[in-house]
């Protein structure tokens, strides 16, 4: 979900984020559609603590979504492994990785991951602001190669992994390989884990991510307006 390895908040920030949501300890409380116990680190099982430590080392903070996932250690373990391997082995550079994660999260309307990855894009991956804002706003990316990457990622998601030959050809023409396409499958799996967890739990946004808050309604409204304009103008595109 996140990787703030070069922009770590200090201990006071982490303590504040923890108190924001987890001050009620292990008492059951409703999180979105779920009724689960919120996890204090001191109350976690050995397995949960191991995974939370692993996530904190990677992100330099303990995101709320990891605390939710820790209720299912298998879920958090799978997420962290897939996330780490995508970062290390996908062949995409940091800017491309964030474009992929942002594109998936936008299509899945995950407000938590959009805020988190927007901050990572700004502070760690150094994604050009215009690129991040294009994905956040549902407009074309002003970089042909990154636009091709975002488009194919979206097509894979919407077509359930069954792109057309023309779509694959356009992806290759932008300079990407079939291995890149398979790593997009990994990215889709990783973001499905975090996006769906956030949907179920309505995960509260960490303080550090609030500066890049994103509302799914905004992009849905823009998409609807664009489609309405096309219909009225007689465009079939």
Q: Which residue has the higher pLDDT, 44 or 103?
A: 103
> Residue 42: its pLDDT value, please?
81
Residues 170-193 have a mean pLDDT of 98
Domain layout of the chain by residue ranges: 11-210
> Quick one: tokens of 109?
């309307």
- State yes or no: pLDDT of 15 exceeds 50: no
- For the whole prediction, is pTM greater than 0.85? no
Per DSSP, the three-state class of 23 is coil
Class at the top of the CATH hierarchy for domain 11-210: mainly alpha
pLDDT digits (tens, 9 = 90+) for 124-157: 999 999 999 999 999 999 999 999 999 999 999 9
Identify the burial level of 136 via C-beta atoms within 10 angstroms of its C-beta, where 0-12 means exposed, 13-18 middle and 19 or more buried. Answer: buried
**What is the average pLDDT score of the chain?**
85
CB 103 within 8 Å of CB 141: no
Q: pLDDT tens for residues 56-66?
A: 999 999 999 99
**Continuous segment of H or E residues that includes residue 37:** strand 34-37
Alpha helices by DSSP H, listed for 4-142, are: 11-22, 46-59, 64-69, 73-89, 94-107, 111-123, 129-137
């Amino acid at each position: 979900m996140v990787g703030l390895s070069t922009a770590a908040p200090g201990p006071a920030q982490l303590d504040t984020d923890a108190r924001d949501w987890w001050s009620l300890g292990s008492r059951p409380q409703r999180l979105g559609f779920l009724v689960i116990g919120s996890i204090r680190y001191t109350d976690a099982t050995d397995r949960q603590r191991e995974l939370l430590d692993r996530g904190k080392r990677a992100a330099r903070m303990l995101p709320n979504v990891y605390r939710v996932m820790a209720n299912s250690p298998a879920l958090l373990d799978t997420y962290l492994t897939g996330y780490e391997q995508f970062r290390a082995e996908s062949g995409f550079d940091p800017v491309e990785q964030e474009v992929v994660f942002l594109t998936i999260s936008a299509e899945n309307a995950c407000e938590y991951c959009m805020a988190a990855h927007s901050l990572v894009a700004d502070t760690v991956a150094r994604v050009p602001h215009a690129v991040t804002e294009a994905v956040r706003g549902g407009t074309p990316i002003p970089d042909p190669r990154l636009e091709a990457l975002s488009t194919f990622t979206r097509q894979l998601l919407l077509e359930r992994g069954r792109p057309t030959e023309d779509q694959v050809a356009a992806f290759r023409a932008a300079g990407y390989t079939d291995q890149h396409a398979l790593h997009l499958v990994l990215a889709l799996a990783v973001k499905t884990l975090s996006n769906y967890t956030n949907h179920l739990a309505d995960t509260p946004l960490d303080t550090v991510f609030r500066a890049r808050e994103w509302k799914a309604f905004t992009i849905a409204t823009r998409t609807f307006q664009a489609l309405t304009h096309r219909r009225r103008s007689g465009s079939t595109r």
